[in-house]
Amino acid sequence: MRIFLLFILLSSTAFAQKKQIITDKIQAKSAYELLNDIRLHPEKYRKVLGISNVELITKTKLVWNDQLAKVAESRAYDMANRNYFDHTNPDGFGPNYFIQRAGYQLNADWLKTKSANNFESIGANHPTAEDGIKALIIGKGSPGFMHRKHLLGMDTWNGSLQDIGIGFVQVPKGTAYKTYLCVIIAKHDW
């Protein structure tokens, strides 16, 4: 009987410690608006974000895409739920796989590797989604300026991307990070 009661106690404790993950669509939309403002008015952000070559920024407005937003939310949620931070999930699948699976048609060449990522930037532990966007552009905690190029369309490839979805989740406790941000900027084909 004691073993049975101990089992019930341990089970209820484990259940009580389940992570509470909050998907924040308002934060995601706010980050989207900020990113478009930066793209359309880069001079305004030159100093604060340390952008010395604003002339390379694609000054086109990104278009919100609900399919990409659902993928971005799902990716951020999965990272929080399974306590990892990577473009490839623990099962070996990358963003391109999930984008295609959601019904956003991609070029077949972009799907040859299950871990492929041509469209995603991620951030973690930023108080807000806007702070995450700024950190990715500044290059804080990211490899070089890859995220800056992606978010601001600063080369031919990234400048050709037009659709966007953002996911932002908050986790009060139980994971390595308190927030996870996923930004997907994509296009269907060349």
Per-residue pLDDT of 127-171, as tens digits, reads 999 999 999 999 865 555 789 999 999 999 999 999 999 999 999
- Cα separation, 179 vs 167, in Å, equals 10
| pLDDT at residue number 4 | 43
**Residue 18 confidence class, pLDDT cut points 50, 70, 90:** low
CA dist., res. 108 & res. 3, Å (int): 56
Report the pLDDT value the prediction gives residue 8, as an integer from 0 to 100: 43
Confidence check: pLDDT of 175 > 50? yes
Q: Is the pLDDT of residue 71 over 50?
A: yes
* Residue 78 clears pLDDT 50, i.e. is over it: yes
pLDDT value at position 146? 87
Identify the helix (H) or strand (E) that includes residue 39. Answer: helix 25-40
pLDDT of residue 90: 98
* Mean pLDDT of the 73-86 span: 97
Beta strands in 101-146 (DSSP E): 120-124
The residue with greater pLDDT, 58 or 8, is: 58
What is the reported pLDDT for 69? 98
